[in-house]
Amino acid sequence: MRRSMLGRLAVAAACSFSLLAAFAPAAGAAADSGPDRDRDHGRSYKRVGYFTQWGVYGRDFQVQDLDTNGTAGKLTHINYAFGNVGPDGRCFTGNVPGEADAWADYVRPLAAADSVDGVADDAQQPLAGNFNQLRELKAKHPGLKVLISLGGWSWSTHFSDAARTPASRKAFVSSCIDLYIKGNLPQDGARGGAGAAAGLFDGIDLDWEWPGSAGDTDTTYRPEDKRNFTELVREFRTQLDAYGRAQKRRYELSAFVPTAPAKIDAGFEVRRIMRDLDFVTLQGYDFHVSGEPRTAQQSALYARDDFSVDGTVEAWQRRGAPAHKLVMGMPFYGQGWTGVSGGGDGMGQPATGPAPATWAAGYEDYKALRKLADSGAYTVHRDRRGGHAWLFDGTTLWTYDDPQVLRAKSAYVREHGLGGAMFWSLDGDTADGELMTAVDRGLRGR
């Protein structure tokens, strides 16, 4: 997944289909009130949005914004990004630059104006920060679930070690349940302590990138990761179910999984893990990235001789994943190149490097790309058969998903009986939640 760092490795696959039907509403689509009550042929759809720990800083995207922009009412799940795994193979948190941020998670006090319930945090409450705001958001939106996402691109470093033996898996899973599900946070002044976050998290999302194949530069991987990931999933399911029985509730377990067939085959015993996972979120973006020498699509629904969302869905289903457990990943950001030469619409042309951007070269939030599209300086181009869009001003190109693309992808979810949609990440949307609204309406068949 994109996660906290760029540096995504490009991946490749092949598929060739027509997008024409994806732009038409599914026959017989119907809707009820609330995202968890939507129905299409008797089915419901998950809407899973990633909330980034670090987005509260420069982007100033607070949990409260999910309420004020209407997004919270359209989501079924929030995945909190991220929890880290230490060199000892245990889940941990603290204030360690680049490794953990307890200040953002549960220490930072919020003023009344920034709080979901309109009440300022006081100095003595054991839970503040993002965690307390998520708790308040859940109270305001009953039925909304929050999962802790473990790993991500930058924090998958020690997953392979943690999953290596039965003893290490048992200790790893136990530590994660203790920290997040039981809510036993490290003491930080008045914050934290036994049970401080109890009841906040409704499950765990595994974002190991990637078992059995290369991820970030410092991430360990081994051939035996494939079997060990299966056993790790089983251990999480076993321990979550055991604790859930004691609490008289069920905890969910999900995983973020890759597009590339080579990565799937290197790291995932698909039929076995799908028995224990409630659902998986599919990598539906970063098919090409701004570090590559030529411009290319990053999230096409269909593509000939290249990666695509449809190819990803087909690859997982062919290996035994049931459609209703596949949740399609959708980007709320774009990949960009500059120094593009060769003329035409800019797609597939040489470039000198990643495009300048607000937070990191080659990566820009949708809300900023929307302004470029409205500025008149860029032309919006569409591959209607492929189901993707891009902006080009003659020199700089951005490939991204806009509401029109997301409506087509939402139609695809309905027509193919998939489990729903996932978004990386919620802080990339406009102030009025334009992308979230487009997906919401698309999943309702509107």
User: Which residues participate in catalysis according to the annotation?
Assistant: 209
CB 358 within 8 A of CB 312: no
Distance of CA 259 to the CA centre of its chain: 14
Query: In this structure, what token pair is assigned to residue 188?
Result: 């930080």
| Whole-number Å distance between alpha carbons of 24 and 32 | 20
Give, in order, the Cα–Cα distances in Å from 304 to each of 15, 216, 254, 294, 310.
Answer: 5, 28, 30, 17, 11
| Whole-number Å distance between alpha carbons of 92 and 86 | 6
Give, in order, the Cα–Cα distances in Å from 276 to each of 34, 149, 207, 239, 242.
Answer: 27, 17, 15, 12, 14
CB 114 within 8 A of CB 83: no
| Whole-number Å distance between alpha carbons of 68 and 80 | 19
CB 281 within 8 A of CB 255: yes
Q: Tell me which residue of 185, 158, 186 sits closest to 89, measured CA to CA.
A: 158
- Nearby residues of 69 by Cβ (< 8 Å), 6 or more positions away: 429, 430, 431, 432, 433, 436
Phi then psi for residue 100, to 5 deg, are: -165, 150
